[in-house]
Structure 1
Amino acid sequence: MSCANVMKRDRTAVINPLVTCQPMGAMYAVAGIRRGLPLVHGSQGCSTFVRYSFSRHFREPSEIAVTSLHEDAAVFGGRKNLISGIGNLASRFKPSVIGAISTCSSEIIGDDMEGFIKIAQEELKQKMGEVEAGKIKIVPISTPSFVETHFKGYDNAIKALVNNLAEDPTDSNGKINIIPGIVNP
């Protein structure tokens, strides 16, 4: 084999992007919000890989919370886990936004995340006071990880965030947000 043939082969590019499940895209979207925290409603493994990937990509630790669903949640549901997770995040970190991100396990068992979030908000009002609890926006984000990829999860998160956080344009500051889309982390 001549050197010319070896050189031609070395110039070939191989594109093999990371493609993973929807919750990763949603976590990426919520992590991009100032004082925003992703709360993954699923098992520990649902956030571990993403936390590792984000830490490698951004070269610093990533804040991603998880409700730690176990086998008993498959039978009884993850209501208790989600409500206590929201309460812990709110009291410890005082975020402006909590993105409650579903996973395949919470989607399959049929957890009513919107209903659970309403209960959690009422508990926060009692615990923190209505004014302080009102400063924390909790956004349910449906990302069934058995359908499509993290690109779809990012889109679902942006749609949920806009639907839940957008304000009347007459009360705006005259500025506009541009959301360019996800770049493969």
Structure 2
Amino acid sequence: MIGNGRLPVNTRPTGVRTPATENRAVLPGALRETMARFATGITVMTTGGEYVHGMTANAFSSVSLEPPMVLCCVARSATMHEAITVTRSFAVSVLGAEQEPLARYFANKSRPRGAEQFHGLDWQPGPFTGAPLLAGSLAWLECKLAEQYDGGDHSIFLGEVLAADWADDRQALLFYRGAFHRGIGGNPDGIG
């Protein structure tokens, strides 16, 4: 049984549209609406050096503990794509619930470019990559680019984690159904 226990594993819910039942491919709008039901954490990815840049992202995930690896997905048309490709590294600041303004700022395409986009923000350069690490975040990672894979209109960047740190007792910033939400925080032992 899955979910609330009323649906057998081998039964598909009624109304589920698949390419086989609709005789067509899944349209981008349908995929976007479907994936909007998957709550994600919010990060700001950054690069340092000559290509200093920041970008809000929720397509981020842990991949491996041994060796320590994470992945992020970036549109090929994004400035961050070129920045990661050239610098061969990136950093990730996992945002806390009170950092929604930072998430919105780094998602705004009209913000300044280069180092100027970080003026007035509280951050420090990562010791390995020089990429900005945002103060007040829940966690920070610095990564060197290990692999890059084709993923449709995005690239999947696999990063070897060089450094990781975290803060305690703060709520997470989540993205669900096209909006920001405050998530759980504090003691992870409370999760059942």
TM-score normalized by the length of structure 1: 0.26
Larger Rg: 1
Query: Which has more helix, going by share of residues?
Result: 1
TM-score normalized by the length of structure 2: 0.26
